[in-house]
Amino acid sequence: MIAFLNGDYRPLESVCISPLDRGFMFGDGVYEVIPSYRGVLFEVDAHLDRLRRSLAAIRIADPLTGDAWRKMLERLLSLNPGADRAIYLQVTRGVAARDHAFPQTPSATVFAMVNPIRPPAPELAGRGVGAITLPDQRWGRCDIKTVTLLPNVLARQQAAEQGAVEAILLRQGKVTEGAASNVFVVRDGHVLTPPLSDAILPGITRRVLIDVLRGTRWPCDEQPVSEDELRGADEIWLTSSTKELLPVTSLDGKAVGDGHPGEAWHEALAAYQRVKPAGPSA
Ligand code: PLP
């Protein structure tokens, strides 16, 4: 696999980053995961906008122009041909003597690599997945897509150890999001998702789904979702760029609704699939 580091394209195995990189030392950086379907990037402008927002929030100057970002992403895809891919890209505050405060003359490290998208097997999505609930122990700026992911890592590991695919996080009696996904619930025919705030990542899949649901029988309201509403939901869905739209059929070991992916999920997934790129000639 060919990766990108600071202007060079080279095999991933030969990419070296200094241990003094502030991403390694402090988790001082941000990232994006951008899906591509049959060689066509999906929602690339939205991902680059969010990257710019994350960089500005942690005060790293954007190292590339919009055009240069897009060219780099396209080149990386062409060097790693294949079907459905996700580009992982990371920008850190760069290499400097270890000191918490910013270096005088920071020089960002820009790294990107390509991974296959492994959406859940159709039978798994068709059956639904398990999730657990956990207290949200993260910081107050979860709207920034920072590489500092330790609480998310621990939550996801706890889910995995309990045979679940995701941990749904609760703060002050309300759902925030999953460890690496946004959360939607369906109750009494209404689709709800927590509103944007500094407690959740503004997921691109979340936004695309809200848009496509407008054209269906299941328009979505962005409003707070209480723990009781989550536990009493007829359906629960998780969204992310690599999971797309996944039905949760068991929560903390109890069936969600009738324990099967629901009618709304089937329609929402079909609507989502229609807006994904069909390929270069689409
Ligand atoms: N929330 C968190 C904490 C995430 O890490 C992610 C994706 O990794 C999401 C939500 C979903 O975001 P997106 O749909 O942009 O992939």
Atom of ligand 1 nearest to the CA of 207: 14
ipTM, two decimals, is: 0.99
Summarised one tens digit per residue, pLDDT across range 201-243 is 999 999 999 999 998 999 999 999 999 999 999 999 999 999 9
Q: What is the distance in A from the centroid of ligand 1 to the CA of 241?
A: 7
Of residues 98 and 82, more confidently modeled = 98
The pLDDT value recorded for residue 280 is: 61
* pLDDT above 50 (res 282): no
The pLDDT value recorded for residue 265 is: 96
The pLDDT value recorded for residue 279 is: 63
Name, in order, each residue with C-beta under 8 angstroms of 20's C-beta and a sequence gap of 6 or more. Answer: 95, 96, 97, 98
AA identity, residue 251: L
Summarised one tens digit per residue, pLDDT across range 185-212 is 999 999 999 999 999 999 999 999 999 9
Name, in order, each residue with C-beta under 8 angstroms of 212's C-beta and a sequence gap of 6 or more. Answer: 268, 271, 272, 274, 275
Ligand 1 pocket check for 203: Cβ under 6 Å: yes
Domain ranges of the chain: 2-116, 122-275
* Confidence band of 125 (pLDDT split at 50, 70, 90): confident
Q: Hey, what CATH class is 2-116 in? A: alpha beta
Torsion of CA 144, 84, 150, 199, to 10 degrees: 30
Q: What is the distance in A from the centroid of ligand 1 to the CA of 238?
A: 10
Name, in order, each residue with C-beta under 8 angstroms of 54's C-beta and a sequence gap of 6 or more. Answer: 30, 32, 144, 145, 146
The pLDDT value recorded for residue 152 is: 98
Rounded to 5 degrees, what are φ and ψ at 62? Answer: -60, 120
**Average pLDDT of 134-148?**
98
Summarised one tens digit per residue, pLDDT across range 3-42 is 999 999 999 999 999 999 999 999 999 999 999 998 999 9
Summarised one tens digit per residue, pLDDT across range 161-176 is 999 999 999 999 999 9
Summarised one tens digit per residue, pLDDT across range 98-115 is 999 999 998 999 999 999
Q: What is the distance in A from the centroid of ligand 1 to the CA of 108?
A: 23
Residue 184: name the closest of 141, 117, 131 by CA: 131
Write down the number of H helices and E strands in the chain: 8, 15
The pLDDT value recorded for residue 74 is: 97
Query: Any catalytic annotation for residue 145?
Result: yes
Mean pLDDT (the chain, rounded): 95
CATH architecture of the domain formed by 122-275:
Alpha-Beta Barrel (3.20)
Catalytic residue among 71, 145, 174, 276: 145
Separation of alpha carbons 263 and 49, rounded Å: 33
The pLDDT value recorded for residue 100 is: 98
